[in-house]
Structures are given as C-alpha cells and as structure tokens.
Amino acid sequence: MRLHVNRWGQGPRVVLVHGAVLGGREAWRAQRPLTERWTLLAPDRPGHGQSPPARQDFEPEAALVADQLLDEPSHLGGLSYGAIVAMYAAALRPENVLSLTIVEPPSTAVARGNPVVDEYAAAIRALAESDVDPVEGLRLFFRFAGVPVEVPDEPHETLLKGMRQLLGARSPDEAEPPLHALRDADFPILVVSGGHSEVQEIICDTIARESGASREICRGRDHLVPEAPEFNAVLERFLMNGRPEKP
C-alpha cells in the first residue's frame, strides 16, 4: 500500500501523522505558517483522505510510515492515534529520525492500573467495538477525547469517513509503545498535551518520564493541541534547538 502524502513548503522535512477522524490535509492546517521554513509531509493514514482503505492498526501503519516517509532524515511528529504510530515508526527506523514529537496519544497501557486511565481505555475500546451510528459515534468520541467541536446533524463526509475508520479499529489500549528503545535512541523527544484531561496528563507524563523526553503543555484547544495558540512556536523551537539532556 502506498500512502497518499500531502506536502507543503520548503526546508527541512517534518513528517506529521494525524490522529482519528481527520486526514493529513485537515489535521495539520494550523501548521501551514511553518511552511515558510519547513517542508511538511502529512500522510493520509489508511482509510483517510486519499489513501487506500484498511483497518486502523498502529503497527502496520507504523511500518508504512517508516518505509515510505523515513527513507531519509526527517523530523517526526504524531497526534493522538497518530502519535502511537509515530512512536512505533521512530523505533523501526531511528537512524533517520531527527526528532520525535508526541502529542496526546491514547496510549493507556503505559499507565495501566490507574483507575481513571483504565476507565478511559474501556470507553475507547467500547466505542471502537460498537455498531453505533457514525454521527452519534462522533459526538461520543469528541466528548470523551476532548474535542471542542459541536457535531451537526449532518457532518461533513470527511468526518463521517474518519469515524467509520475508528469503528472497528484496533484499540489503542493494545499499544505497548517502545519507550525504552526511544529512550536509547539518538534523537530528542518532546511530549505535548493540552492541559484539559487528567488522563492525558498521566499518559504524557509517563511517556516523558520513561522515554527521557522534554514535556510541554499547550492550552486553549483541548485535544486539538496543534490548534493551540502557542503550539507552533513550541514545536518550531524544539525542531530548531531541541536536544534535551536525557535523564
């Protein structure tokens, strides 16, 4: 399978992997100002945008990203489910990863046993395994993920297509991100959350601690962290200067 890749700008390569519902073109709109200095490569994950359909599954998707987009040195980032994909992809081809930015992954397994995290994991799994109507599914997903958007009675087809991909997806609670491999890799790591969710703060704190990553909170848009007012400045500062000392 070949992923469709949205490409903008010029300069060093930055690969950005989107999360659930939206494809690469829509998920990273707020990063367009960075194209004056960076080449942004935003793949459509399988079943999203213009990429061929396939079940949503972080492991084969990570292999696609590693093979097709990390064939040369690149910065790598991911949002939500795409952050899980990015972590796995970085571990597959670390020699071509210049930096890794992880934004609010639903990687609940890293904090398994915490009651609020386990409750969140169960809610995601229940939704993915349900046969709920896609419109109602969008409303449920936006509510517990923390997406500050009202879902109309007739959502855009892009949203419906993305929601259908989420239904039947491999649940993110099955992911065991390769945190020790990332910690040992020779690239800097940044973990970013939106400051809106106890669950995400626990997950992001745990990933940062276990991988030796830097940690930032960008408030203002909840789970839509790339739309937060300070996110682009935080990301670009990290891309230009980030090589924090790993503890």
- At 247 the pLDDT is 38
Task: Select the more confidently predicted residue: 245 or 144.
Answer: 144
- At 243 the pLDDT is 53
- At 4 the pLDDT is 97
Percent pLDDT > 90 in the chain is 84
Residues 6 or more apart whose CB falls under 8 angstroms from that of 38 comprise 9, 10, 11, 12, 13, 14, 75, 236, 239
- 121-130: average pLDDT: 92
Give the predicted TM-score (pTM) of the model: 0.95
What is the pLDDT confidence band of residue 191, given thresholds at 50, 70 and 90? very high
Tell me the per-residue pLDDT of 153-181, one tens digit each, with 9 for 90 and over. 998 888 988 899 889 899 999 999 999 99
